[in-house]
Amino acid sequence: MQTYQRLGLCCREHPLIFSCPVASAPSQHHGHSGTLFHVSILRIFVGIVNRDDIMPHTGAVVDKIILHPLFRIHKRRHDYDIALLKLQTPLNFSNTVRAVFFASISMYLFPWLSGALLSPGYGSDTLQNALVPLISPQLCNSSCMYKGKITPQMLCAGYLDGHTDACQGDSGGSLVCLDRGIWRLVGVVSWGWNCAKPHRPGVYTKVAVFLDWIHHQIGGE
């Protein structure tokens, strides 16, 4: 049985960036059930908005997963929740496959979501999107929200009354903003308590914090 997970976006001509909620060594990965599998079975599909359009035995082959060295070592479970995917062959850009650039923080963000539509619930076969505002770290860390669990490597986005959020199946998806006609990557879907609940916004990996690490990994390839 094949399952499909949204893992992120290509940044310029660099490896894919994604959130890695469960992972081990760079050459191997754990599935949701805890089963260990080799990265060579992973496939990246781009330019597709519906799962029915995915053709068997196609997609870009993953050559290597580069985990952040502090992921899982750090005492906070979801901290440093980022990795790079190196593909065996470059992606071909087109009208439906484009690069996303790195960004500083913007007030209003436009994340593409493709996971469950309800919690608990079933995922959508068609790629979804939602507009959500950033929430300040001070508010997100307050006693009525995440009670100090938000680190400098994280950011929060969503609405105080819930209703719109990332959900199961969105992990690793992109939080992007449109800046003068250019899409910029701000965050990566990481974690949260339930989905779209009041005072429980989505928590994202703050990509800007990791730019030096990303450039170092790319430069070392």
State residue 120's pLDDT score.
Answer: 57
State residue 96's pLDDT score.
Answer: 83
Q: Which one from 29, 78, 170, 174 is the annotated catalytic residue?
A: 29
125 catalytic? Reply is no
State residue 104's pLDDT score.
Answer: 59
Q: What is the pTM of this model?
A: 0.79
Asked if CATH classification 3.40.190.10 holds for the domain at 9-97+210-219, the reply, yes or no, is no
State residue 108's pLDDT score.
Answer: 45
pLDDT (tens place) for every residue of the chain, 221 residues total = 333 444 444 443 334 544 443 222 233 344 444 445 577 778 888 888 888 888 877 888 888 888 899 987 666 678 999 988 888 888 888 888 888 888 754 434 444 444 445 555 567 788 788 888 889 999 999 999 999 999 999 999 999 999 888 887 788 888 888 778 888 888 889 999 888 899 999 999 999 999 999 889 887 55
Q: Which one from 19, 78, 79, 81 is the annotated catalytic residue?
A: 81
Residues 6+ away with beta carbon under 8 Å from 182: 101
State residue 150's pLDDT score.
Answer: 95
State residue 159's pLDDT score.
Answer: 92
Q: Which one from 68, 79, 170, 171 is the annotated catalytic residue?
A: 171
The strand pairing partners of 6, in sequence order, are none
Domain boundaries, the chain: 9-97+210-219, 101-208
At the fourth CATH level, the homologous superfamily of domain 101-208 is: Trypsin-like serine proteases (2.40.10.10)
State residue 2's pLDDT score.
Answer: 39
171 catalytic? Reply is yes
Phi, psi of 50 (to 5 degrees): -135, 135
State residue 1's pLDDT score.
Answer: 32
Nearest-5° Cα angle at 192, 190 to 193: 160
Listing DSSP states for the chain in one string gives: --------EEBTTS-EEE--SSB-STTEEE-TTS-EEEGGG-EE--S-SBGGGPPTT-SEEEEEEEE-TTTTTSSSTTTT--EEEEESSPPPP-SS---BEE----SEEEEEE-SBSSSS-PBPSB-EE--EEEE-HHHHTSTTTTTT---TTEEEES-TT-SS---TT-TT-EEEEEETTEEEEEEEEEE-SSSSBTTB-EEEEEGGGGHHHHHHHHHT-
